[in-house]
A = this chain, B = another copy of it.
Amino acid sequence: MKFGIACFPSKEVQDFANSYRKRYDPHYSLIQPHLTIREAEEWSSGRLKEAVAHLELAVKTLSPFTVRFNRFSSLLPGSAVIYLALEDPEPFIRCHEALCAGPLTEASKSYRFHPHLTIGQQLGHDEANDILASLRKIPVSLSATIDRIHMLYQTENDAWTVHQTFLFGRT
């Protein structure tokens, strides 16, 4: 079964993101707007137990923090992904480092973790460039408190179900 870890921002941010995702993101109906913390990976039940035990401890070391989305950006030209960007990604990066450690350490990747809330993907490069040019004119100023993460699993239709939430700093 495939498991992943994600963070859902506030309803306000999700509503804003969905107004674009419904046009530009084929994953619109598979999962609510989120920031991926750990990519989907096939886990055995033993691996799942290990991951849950790790996260239960790891979130205790984290305190809620505020993120601010301040613009649309993209992974162009490497990838035709358009996303809502964080003004300051550092607190989210530190959160990622605390969670994806120990048994959840990720195999070395050729790219650095880059927190983002995808609102468009699987677009043609020219199309993505055009959309981004238009979206960049839209002012964005949305804040959200991040105080929990969710572990999810994927069903056969590629949609995601939440397995468990992990609240920061809970004893």
Contact = CB atoms under 8 A, between A and B. Distances in A.
A149 to B, nearest CB: 11
A149 B164 CA distance: 9
A interface SS class: mixed
A110 B159 CA distance: 35
Contacts of A101: none
B161 A14 contact: yes
A1 interface: yes
A167 B162 CA distance: 13
Nearest to A152: B162
A156 B8 contact: no
A156 B32 contact: no
A116 interface: no
A153 to B, nearest CB: 6
Contact of A11 (B22, B155, B167): B155
Interface of A: 1, 8, 11, 14-15, 18, 22, 29-30, 32, 148, 150, 153, 155-157, 159-165, 167
18 contacts: A1-B11, A8-B161, A8-B162, A11-B155, A11-B161, A14-B155, A15-B155, A18-B159, A29-B29, A29-B30, A32-B159, A32-B160, A32-B161, A148-B164, A150-B162, A162-B162, A163-B165, A164-B167
